[in-house]
Structure formats: C-alpha cells, structure tokens
Structure 1
Amino acid sequence: MPDGLATALMVPGLVWVVLVTFVAGVVYGFAGFGAALIFMPVAVVFLEPPLAVAAFSVSAVISLFTVVPRAWRECDRPATVQLIIAASVTASIGLYGLANFDVTLVRWLVLGVTTVTLLALIAGWRRQTDATTPARLGIGAATGLVGGLTGLMGPIVVLFQLSSADGAGRSRANTIVFLTVTSILLLPLMALQGVLTGAAIWLGMILLPAYGLGTVLGQKLFTPGSERVYRTVAYGIIAAAIALGLPIWE
C-alpha cells in the first residue's frame, strides 16, 4: 500500500470528513458555491489546514464531470472566462500577500465591503447596466487577490453575479464554472508550494466519490424557477462566510 494512501486511511474521524464532504457537495450542487465554507470548519478538527485545503481541492475536480457540463451550457461564457483569467493572475499575488501583509487588516476591510454589499442586495439594489469587460476583469482580479489573501474566493464573485439582472440559473452557472476552474488552476501552485502531498492526493481521491454524489444531488434539487429560494440560500451562505471569516475567531 502506498505511504500516502496509508496516511489518508489513518486520518482520525475519516468517516466524519467524508460525511461533511458529501454535505458540502450538496450545497455546491444547489447554490454553486459555499462548499469550502461547509467543509473547512469540520475538516480542520481532524486535519491540518494545508492538508484539508489540498485534499478538498483534489476532490472538487469531480465537479468538472458532475455540475460543470450543465453549467457551461447555461453560463455567460465570455464573461465567465474573463473572470477566470483575471482571478488566476492575481491569486498568486494574494497568496504572496498572505505570507507578507497584515492579513487581519485586509480581512476586516474585505468583510466590511462584503457586508455592505450583501445588505444592499437584500434591500433590493441591483446593477442598472450590464458589466463591461474592464469591470469583469476588475471583479475577477479582486476575487483572485482576496481569495489568495483570505480564502474567501466565493462571496465577491457571487455578490457581483447577484447584483445583475440575470436569473438564478445563469448566476449559479456562472459561479459554478468560475469557482471550479479557478480551484483546479490553483492545484499546480499548491504543488509548487509543497502543499499537494501524496497524502493530500490520496485523501482527496477518497473524498471524491462523496463530493461527486453530493453535487449531483444538489443539482437535482435546484430548479431554474426558484429565484427566491436561490437568493435566500445564497445570502445565507454569504452571511455565514462573513461571520466565520471574522478575525475574532482566531
């Protein structure tokens, strides 16, 4: 038996980690984001954070086959590709900043902006015009930078999607494609930093079936006409991300 596989199988609480991976998949399949928010608080009870992040990223590759095909047909492809390119460029800068900047201050600023935007959306604010290419590139760049600095990759791009006139189906599809592709593009960077170890890869493979089944179930639960339900769930996930992201928990 490979050493990495043996290490993965010896993880304490592996059953609970697999279970929370399934639940995270259901949330992702339905809402298009929020999986890491569900997974990480439980996983870090049993795993070191770098191992948890890397293993979960490996398991999330299955999204390419379970939810991305449908999302790719429904998303705004040019707009989503622009967001992906911009975020991929700045994510590495964010990761560098994580090791060198006062991340606590950055997190407070990001959470403050996210909170104000969320409250505005709940109150009924929407963008009055379609986003331009420079605006999408700016949002993508900000998302990658903030994601690298704080781990909050989802909320900014989701708030951007929800502020548009797009329906729930288009918003969800854009977010699924964006988050899945950017997460996979970060795997080589994790490997270069020594985070993507043999144990992380094997553990990710163990978690992959549970995550895949969860995303399939979540996708079946979503119906394009459930605009109010989708927005309520999305707002709730973002609010939870804001609360759990507060530096006071450290």
Structure 2
Amino acid sequence: MAVLLAATLLGGLVRGFTGFGFAMVFMPLASMVVGPVAALGLIWCIDAPFALPIAARNARQAEWREVAPLLLTATLALPAGIWLLIWLDRETMRWILAGLILTAVALMASGWRYHGRPGIPLSLGVGVLSGLFNGMASIGGMPLAVFWLGAQRNDRHKTRANLQTFFGVSTLISGTILWRNGILTLTALTMALPLMAVYGAGMLAGTHGFRLANEITFRRIAYAVIFLSALVSLPLWDGVDGR
C-alpha cells in the first residue's frame, strides 16, 4: 500500500503540472506490487472520477471530425491490447511496459514532434497504437502526446479540448471492456478509494506548483519522475530488492 500511495501521489503531481503522465508513473510501480492486470483496473478507478467531468466540460469545443476517427480505431484495437496484457506472463509484461514508457519519455524529452500534415491513414494508425497501449497499460495518451499534439493545426484551446474529450470517451469505452474482461472488480474499486483522495491532492498540488517555476523546468521534472519510475520497475532489479 505504501508503494501504491507513493505512485499515486507522484502520478497526480506529474499530471497536475503537465496534463499527462499519471499512468506512465503509476503503472510500472503498481505492477511491481499487484501485477499489470490489477494495476490497470486501479488506474481506471482512480482516474475516471476526474477524467469524465473534464471531458464533459470540453466536449462542445472539441473538433469531432478529428476526434471520432481516432476513437474508432482506438476502440477496435483496445481488446487486442487487453488480450496481450492477460496472455503475456507478468515478468514479460513488466519488461514491455517499462520499455514503452522509457522510449516515450525519451522522445518527449528530446522535443521531437511530427510536424507534417497528418492524413487519414496516419491518424487512424495513431488511434490503433493508442488503443493497444490503452489496453496494455492505460497509456493510450502516449502516442497522442508524442505525435498528435504536435501535428494539429488547431489553436491550443481546441487541441486541448480534443485531447480531454478523447480521454473521457475512451475512459467510458475502456471501462466497459475492462469490466467484461473481469479487470474492473469490487476489489479494485475498494483498493482505489483511498488512492483517489491522494490522487486529487497530488493533482491540486501539481497545478498550483506549476506557478513556482517555468513550464520547461516542470516538464523536465515530470520526465525525470516518469523515467525513474519505469527504471525502478524493471524486473532486472528483482534479485536486488528481494521481489
């Protein structure tokens, strides 16, 4: 529980001052304690009460012609990601999760973005990756953070509305599929209840803390936290810490 509380607080802080990154911090650390499957259920229970109201406030401003194709392909790919999560053994899944997160944070920290004009096939491909990653580790926002955000031609308010709406609708869809696969359980909800308060406090502190330094500094801190979380979670260290 101490590890889960620390992971939730760190994830809330990161999301509070960057707008993303909760699952990228929480998933690798929680997987060490409860395994990737249970950790995925916890992430949904913790984040849904915050993601859904935010999405509702942004839905009217969203550009649905851009959001809908991504949601469609992400939804179609989501069951495949969940299947991989369940089918792969726990240690293999931990290696994959850590590898994906380390690669993503390296790309984001480097400042790389796709700056071309995304066509339909490319946008649909990003949706497929988002669905797969969402099913495997609830990190479906990772492909969007690396690619879609930098490729949009909308103003930043429209882009933010698109992202928040995508996350909210995908949360509803993924919740239904996770429940049907037995990942969302009463046990997960019970365990998540005390973590929700910690998550909310972390988000609030992160949002207010953003004013203490410039955005670049806080993003570097966030990348460092995500990187260290993934690094510590590697099965490579299991023999060292006795796991």
TM-score normalised according to structure 2 size: 0.68
Matched, 1:209 2:197: yes
Q: Identify the match of residue 89 of structure 1 among 76, 99, 106.
A: 76
Name the counterpart of 1:218.
Answer: 206
Mapping 1:1-250, distance limit 5 Å = 13=1, 17-18=4-5, 20-44=7-31, 47=34, 49-64=36-51, 67-68=54-55, 77-100=64-87, 104=92, 111=99, 115=103, 125-149=112-136, 152-161=139-148, 163-164=150-151, 174-222=162-210, 228-229=216-217, 232-233=220-221, 235-236=223-224, 239-240=227-228, 243=231, 248=236
C-alpha distance 247-57 of structure 1, shift in aligned 2 (>3 A): same
Name the counterpart of 1:7.
Answer: none
C-alpha distance 178-113 of structure 1, shift in aligned 2 (>3 A): same
Per the alignment, in what secondary structure is the counterpart of residue 132 of structure 2? helix
Name stretches of at least 5 consecutive residues in structure 1 with no aligned partner. 1-12
Per the alignment, in what secondary structure is the counterpart of residue 114 of structure 2? coil
Q: Which residue type is aligned with residue 210 of structure 1?
A: V
Whole-angstrom CA distance in 1 between matches of 2:222 and 2:158: 14
CA displacement 1:133-157 (0-9 Å, x = unmatched): 3322210112212443465434322
Whole-angstrom CA distance in 2 between matches of 1:181 and 1:57: 13
C-alpha distance 17-125 of structure 1, shift in aligned 2 (>3 A): closer
Higher helix share: 2
Root-mean-square deviation (CA, aligned residues, Å) is 4.3
Q: Which residue type is aligned with residue 25 of structure 1?
A: G
Whole-angstrom CA distance in 1 between matches of 2:38 and 2:96: 26
- Deviation (angstroms), 1:34: 1.6
Whole-angstrom CA distance in 2 between matches of 1:52 and 1:108: 15
Q: Is this contact kept in 2: 1:88–1:185, CA < 8 A?
A: yes
Per the alignment, in what secondary structure is the counterpart of residue 182 of structure 2? coil
**Identity of matched residues, %:** 26
Per the alignment, in what secondary structure is the counterpart of residue 157 of structure 1? helix
C-alpha distance 173-235 of structure 1, shift in aligned 2 (>3 A): farther
**Could you tell which deviates more after superposition, 49-58 or 73-82?**
73-82
Q: Which residue type is aligned with residue 46 of structure 2?
A: S
- Deviation (angstroms), 1:28: 1.6
Name stretches of at least 5 consecutive residues in structure 2 with no aligned partner. 239-243
Whole-angstrom CA distance in 2 between matches of 1:113 and 1:49: 14
Whole-angstrom CA distance in 1 between matches of 2:188 and 2:140: 21
**Could you tell which deviates more after superposition, 129-138 or 178-187?**
178-187
